[in-house]
C-alpha cells in the first residue's frame, strides 16, 4: 500500500503565478482534505472533497480551488499567488462511507515557496 | 467556531523525566487525534481517541480524552531523545473529518 502520495515535493513560484498540486489518496479511501501549514504553525483546513464535490471549506479565499477525479485523486489550485501562500501543503485521505471512520492519513506534503 | 489550544508551546525536558501536554478545545466533539511532526516532514498519526474516557498507549506515550472537560492529554513517560518533535492535537469538527489543529507543542529532550 503506497499510502497518500503528493506531487511535486517542492515548488518555487513568483507572485501572481498559478500553481497546481496533486494528491493520490490511500488505497480504498474516498475523501481528500487539503491543509496549509505555514512555518511554525499548525495545519489549517482548506477544503475537503468527496464524490467529486467540495463538501466543506475553511477560511480561504476563492483563489484556492480544487477538484476530485473519479479515481478519488485530487488537485489543489492556487491563483494569483501571494508571498503569504508560501507554506507546506498537506493532503489527507480518509473513508467517508464508514461511520466513525476516524483516522486521516497525511501525505508527505508539497513545499511551496512564493518569491 | 471551534478553537483548539495546546500547552505548553515549548517543552524542554531531560531524558528520563515525565511530562504532560494538554489540549483544550472549545466545543463538543468526541473525536480527537494526536500527531507527531519532525522538522520538514509530514504528520505521523499517533493516537485516535473516539469516545469519552478513551485511553491509548504506545511505548512511552499515553493519550487520554475527557469529552466533558473538553480536554485531552498526552503523557510522556521517561522521555528519550527520539521523542524530540512537534506534537499536535486535532479535533474533528462536526465528525466530518474536518480537523482543527492546535498550536503544537515543540518538545526537546536533552541528555
Over the stretch A10-55, which tens digit does the pLDDT of each residue have? Answer: 999 999 999 999 999 999 899 999 999 999 999 999 999 999 999 9
Beta partners for A112? A11, A87
Q: Distance between CA B37 and CA B35 in Å, rounded?
A: 7
Q: What's residue B62's pLDDT? A: 98
Q: Does B96 touch chain A (CB under 8 A)?
A: yes
Looking at chain B, the number of H-run helices and the number of E-run strands are 0, 11
| pLDDT at B5 (0 to 100) | 95
- What pLDDT, on a 0 to 100 scale, did the predictor assign at position A57? 93
Question: Does A41 contact B at CB distance below 8 Å?
Answer: yes
CB-nearest partner of B42 from A102, A103, A107? A107
A106 to B97: CB separation less than 8 angstroms, yes or no:
no
Q: What is the pLDDT of residues B84-107, one digit of tens each?
A: 999 999 998 877 778 999 999 999
pLDDT of amino acid B31:
86
Q: What's the confidence (pLDDT) of residue A50?
A: 92
pLDDT at residue A74, rounded to an integer: 98
Chain B residues whose CB is inside 8 A of the A101 CB are 97
Chain A residues inside the 8 Å CB shell of B95: 100
Q: How confident is the model at residue B51 (pLDDT cuts 50, 70, 90)?
A: confident
What cell numbers appear for A75 in the block?
488537485
Share of chain A above pLDDT 90, in %: 84
Chain A residue with the nearest C-alpha to that of B96: A96
Half-sphere exposure of B75 (CA within 13 A, CB side): 10
Residue pair A91/A32 in contact by the 8 Å Cβ criterion: yes
Tell me the average pLDDT across A97-101: 57
- B40 pLDDT band, cuts 50/70/90, is confident
Pick the residue from chain B with its C-alpha nearest to A48: B98
Amino acid at each position: 500500500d503506497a499510502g497518500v502520495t503528493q506531487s511535486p515535493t517542492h515548488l518555487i513560484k513568483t507572485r501572481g503565478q498559478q500553481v497546481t498540486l496533486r494528491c493520490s489518496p490511500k488505497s480504498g479511501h474516498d475523501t481528500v482534505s487539503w491543509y496549509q501549514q505555514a512555518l511554525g504553525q499548525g495545519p489549517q483546513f482548506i477544503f475537503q472533497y468527496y464524490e467529486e464535490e467540495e463538501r466543506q471549506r475553511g477560511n480561504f479565499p476563492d483563489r484556492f480551488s480544487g477538484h476530485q477525479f473519479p479515481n478519488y485523486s485530487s488537485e489543489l489550485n492556487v491563483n494569483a499567488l501571494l508571498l503569504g501562500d508560501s507554506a507546506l501543503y498537506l493532503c489527507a485521505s480518509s473513508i467517508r462511507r464508514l461511520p466513525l471512520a476516524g483516522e486521516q492519513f497525511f501525505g508527505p506534503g508539497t513545499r511551496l515557496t512564493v518569491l | 467556531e471551534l478553537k483548539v489550544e495546546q500547552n505548553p508551546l515549548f517543552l524542554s525536558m531531560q531524558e528520563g523525566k515525565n511530562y504532560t501536554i494538554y489540549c483544550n478545545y472549545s466545543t463538543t466533539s468526541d473525536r480527537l487525534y494526536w500527531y507527531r511532526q519532525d522538522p520538514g516532514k509530514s504528520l505521523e498519526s499517533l493516537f485516535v481517541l473516539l469516545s469519552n474516557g478513551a485511553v491509548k498507549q504506545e511505548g512511552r506515550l499515553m493519550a487520554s480524552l475527557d469529552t466533558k472537560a473538553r480536554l485531552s492529554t498526552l503523557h510522556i513517560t521517561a522521555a528519550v531523545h527520539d521523542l524530540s518533535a512537534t506534537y499536535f492535537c486535532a479535533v474533528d469538527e462536526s465528525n466530518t473529518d474536518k480537523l482543527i489543529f492546535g498550536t503544537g507543542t515543540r518538545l526537546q529532550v536533552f541528555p
